[in-house]
Structure 1
Amino acid sequence: MTYADLQEALRVLGLGERATMKDIKTRHRELVKRHHPDAGITTEPEIIRQINAAYRILMDYVTEYRFSFAENEFYEQNPEERFRQQFMDFYNK
C-alpha cells in the first residue's frame, strides 16, 4: 500500500484525514447500502468494487497501525483532557 492508495481510499469513502474505525465502518455500510445492485440506484458494479477495495485498504492500514501511547499523543487525541489537566495543575498549586 502506498500513501496515494490510502488517500484514494479515503476519497472513495468520502472521509477526511482523521477518522475513527467506527467512522470507516459506518461510511462503508452506508455506501454499500446505497450502491448495492439490489437497491436499484446504480447499474455499475465497479462502484461497489471500489467501495469494498477502499474499505479493505483502510482496514488493513488501521489493523497494522502502531498506536502511540505516549503522553503527548494522548493529549493530542484528547484535547479536552489537556485543558482539564492544565487547569487542574493551575488550581492545585
Structure 2
Amino acid sequence: MTYPDLMKALEIFGLTDRVTLREIKRRHRELVKRCHPDAGAAADSTEIRLINAAYRLLVDYAENYRFSFSEEEFYEQNPEERLRMQFEGTPLWNVR
C-alpha cells in the first residue's frame, strides 16, 4: 500500500483524511447499496470491485494503525479538553 493508494481510496469513498473505522464501514454499505443491481442501479461490477478494493485497503490500514495515547494526541482529538485544561479555574471559565 502506498500513500497515493490510500488517498485514492478515501477519494472513492468521499471521505476526509480523519475518519473513524465506523465511518468507513458505514460509507461502504452506502456505496455498495447504491451500486447494487438489486437497488435498480445498472449492473457495473467494475465499480463495485473498485469500492470493495478501496474498502479492504482502508480497513487494513485502520485495523493495523498504531494508536498514540500521548497527551498531545489526546488533546488533538479532543480540543474542548485542551481548552478546559488551559482555562479551568480562571474567572471567565466559570461564568454562567
Q: TM-score, normalised by structure 2?
A: 0.88
- Aligned position for 1:36: 36
Question: Which structure shows the higher helix fraction?
Answer: 1
How many residues in Structure 1 have an aligned counterpart in Structure 2? 91
Superposition RMSD in Å = 1.2
Q: What whole-Å deviation, never above 9, does each CA across 1:18-75 have from its counterpart, x for those lacking one? A: 1111111111110010001211212211011111110100000001111100000100
Query: What stretches of structure 2 of length at least 5 have no aligned partner?
Result: 92-96
**Runs of 4+ residues deviating >4 angstroms:** none
Instruction: Please state if 1:62 is matched with 2:62.
Output: yes
Higher relative contact order (Cα pairs below 8 Å, separated by 6+ residues)? 1
Query: What stretches of structure 1 of length at least 5 have no aligned partner?
Result: none
- Partner SS for 2:41: coil
Map 1:1-93; keep pairs closer than 5 Å.
Answer: 1-88=1-88, 90=90
Share of identical aligned residues, percent? 62
Offset at 1:80? 0.8
Q: Which amino acid aligns with 2:34?
A: R
